[in-house]
Amino acid sequence: MAQQRVLIVEDNVDNYELVRFLLARAGYEVLAASNGMEGVETARRELPDLILMDLSMPELDGWDAARKLKADERTRKIPVLALTAHTLPGDRKRAIEAGCDGYISKPINVASFEKLVSTLVRQAREELQG
């Protein structure tokens, strides 16, 4: 099987570096974008296996980027996990309503991160094949 690819869409360099490190250590190929617009363009071009999406970003925020990805036939089936520091349940609800398939709370729980990512990538692959 080809190396699985995860796109990180995140404008904060420290958060990006942590997520990139965890993904690379777990054996994923990492793609990066630093705002929602760049994220949507990269997703359309590269068709990654999973997208990790920050919510508060310049140019296009994560909610609107998720909406664009889910409205596009080419990228609709790629799972999107919101990376959110937002502690209000309403912000997570908004992320799900925008089309995100789940969320990861910041600060990131390193122990559960890899398991969550691998579960979602596997589910997405099974859905595409089945």
The Cα–Cα gap between 89 and 120 comes to: 22
When asked if residue 11 is in the footprint of Mn ion (CB under 5 A), the reply is: yes
Q: Give the DSSP letter of residue 58.
A: S
- Specify the stretch interacting with Mn ion by CB under 5 A; choose among 32-40, 51-59, 98-106, 114-122: 51-59
Q: The tokens of 128 are what?
A: 């595409």
Which of 56, 85, 104, 114 lies at the binding interface for Mn ion (CB under 5 A)? 56
- Which CB, 50 or 57, lies closer to Mn ion? 57
- Do 29 and 19 contact (CB within 8 A), yes or no? no
- Do 48 and 75 contact (CB within 8 A), yes or no? no
For the bound state, the minimum distance from the C-beta of residue 77 to Mn ion, rounded and expressed in Å, comes to: 25
When asked if residue 54 is in the footprint of Mn ion (CB under 5 A), the reply is: yes
- Do 41 and 63 contact (CB within 8 A), yes or no? no
When asked if residue 61 is in the footprint of Mn ion (CB under 5 A), the reply is: no
Where does this chain bind Mn ion (CB under 5 A)? 11, 54, 56-57
